[in-house]
């Protein structure tokens, strides 16, 4: 039914697609899986410039990743955020040496949802299945004039449209079209290879409905405890930033503490404002103290990095 469209997409991809991305030039399922996980919440440019290659150099196989301590994996992930991705990646690597090709089996592994399973199946194992990331969703909504579609409907449309002969190029092309042509604002319909079948091209920005997002602000008091020129850090527990080292958050700072300043960091779902205090201890009250040089080697979050910078700037 879509033979002509598939041909147009294929030609467009060969001429204008981002063919040189390293994860598009490998059959190694682990590398493709890694790229999918990194790209879930991070832009291609960042992954490409700073994370993908160093991570593979440090952990060249799923087996080597599984054998490495989680702390090492978190250190390599430092700055990418959403650390649960790294923990799930590591957990998967401890469970299997090779990724399965079957979507249902992939979904059973930690952190692999329906979207990632489809991407691994399509890109690593060349299965005739569609992928469903944010750019692709937007295209599908516009093709069918969908304002508020259900996930089920989107998957039906995606399965209907996928090029079963050449799913790899088709899916990569759909991502590229979404990233470079069918943009959220001012899509370039006049040069779009999907223009012939697009029902929404007269008013593309109507589809899909835009979600209004209010980002709440959280306030925290951070206490840097110093004992003999070393700073106290603890390894975080709980869901947020789990496993990373960080400074202590307190309800009320110690009376004798000194106010250093404020640090702000914006996460996807909230903004964090930290008032930072310094407290000199006469006896060590915690178990782990590190010099600034030692802290640089720990896996810490962006906000803790900013706290270290503030500390250094005020010393």
Question: Which residues carry out catalysis?
Answer: 36
Determine, following the binding rule CB under 6 A, whether residue 137 of this chain makes contact with ligand SF4: no
Phi, psi (5° rounding) for residue 169? -65, -40
Residue of 61, 94, 101, 195 interacting with ligand SF4 (CB under 6 A)? 195
What gap in Å lies between CA 157 and CA 143, rounded to an integer?
10
Residue of 37, 39, 146, 182 interacting with ligand SF4 (CB under 6 A)? 182
Residue of 130, 204, 243, 246 interacting with ligand SF4 (CB under 6 A)? 204
The piece of 65-73, 86-94, 183-191, 232-240 that touches ligand SF4 (CB under 6 A) is 183-191
Quote the crossing angle between the two packed helices 114-124 and 29-39, to the nearest 10°: 140
Which residues in the chain belong to E strands, given as ranges?
217-227, 230-232, 234-235, 245-246, 248-250, 258-266, 271-280, 289-290
Helices (H) and strands (E) in the chain, counts: 14, 8
Determine, following the binding rule CB under 6 A, whether residue 142 of this chain makes contact with ligand SF4: yes
For the chain, first and last CA: distance in Å? 69
Tokens of 195: 């223009």
Output the smallest distance, CB 180 to ligand SF4, in A: 10
Q: With respect to ligand SF4, which residue has the nearer C-beta, 86 or 194?
A: 194
Residue of 189, 248, 265, 305 interacting with ligand SF4 (CB under 6 A)? 189
Q: With respect to ligand SF4, which residue has the nearer C-beta, 92 or 135?
A: 135
Size of the site for ligand SF4 (CB under 6 A): 15
What gap in Å lies between CA 222 and CA 253, rounded to an integer?
8
Q: With respect to ligand SF4, which residue has the nearer C-beta, 201 or 236?
A: 201
Which positions touch ligand SF4 (CB under 6 A)?
Answer: 139, 142-143, 181-182, 187-189, 192, 194-195, 198, 200-201, 204
């Amino acid at each position: 039914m879509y033979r002509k469209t598939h041909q147009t997409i294929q030609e467009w991809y060969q001429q204008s697609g981002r063919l040189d991305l390293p994860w598009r030039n490998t059959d190694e399922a682990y590398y493709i899986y890694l790229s999918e996980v990194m790209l879930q919440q991070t832009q291609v440019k960042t992954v490409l410039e700073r994370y993908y290659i160093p991570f593979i150099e440090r952990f060249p196989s799923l087996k080597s990743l599984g054998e490495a301590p989680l702390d090492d994996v978190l250190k390599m992930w430092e700055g990418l955020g959403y650390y649960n991705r790294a923990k799930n990646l590591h957990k998967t690597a401890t469970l299997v040496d090779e990724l399965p090709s079957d979507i249902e089996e992939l979904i059973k592994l930690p952190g692999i949802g329906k979207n990632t399973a489809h991407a691994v199946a399509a890109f690593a194992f060349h299965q005739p299945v569609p992928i469903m990331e944010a750019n692709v969703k937007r295209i599908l909504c516009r093709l069918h004039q969908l304002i508020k579609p259900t996930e089920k409907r989107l998957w039906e449309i995606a399965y209907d449209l996928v090029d079963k002969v050449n799913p790899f190029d088709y899916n990569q092309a759909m991502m590229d079209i979404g990233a470079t042509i069918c943009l959220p604002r001012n899509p370039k319909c006049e040069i779009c290879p999907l223009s012939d079948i697009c029902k929404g091209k007269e008013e593309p920005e109507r589809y899909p409905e835009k979600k209004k997002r209010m980002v709440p602000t959280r306030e925290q008091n951070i206490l840097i405890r110093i004992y003999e020129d070393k700073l106290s850090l603890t390894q975080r527990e709980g869901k947020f930033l789990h496993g990373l080292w960080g400074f202590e958050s307190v309800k009320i700072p110690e009376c004798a503490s000194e106010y250093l300043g404020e640090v702000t960091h914006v996460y996807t779902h909230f903004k964090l404002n930290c008032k930072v205090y310094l407290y000199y201890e006469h006896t060590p009250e915690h178990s782990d103290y590190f010099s600034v040089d030692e802290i640089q080697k720990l896996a810490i979050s962006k906000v803790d990095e900013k706290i270290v910078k503030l500390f250094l700037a005020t010393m």
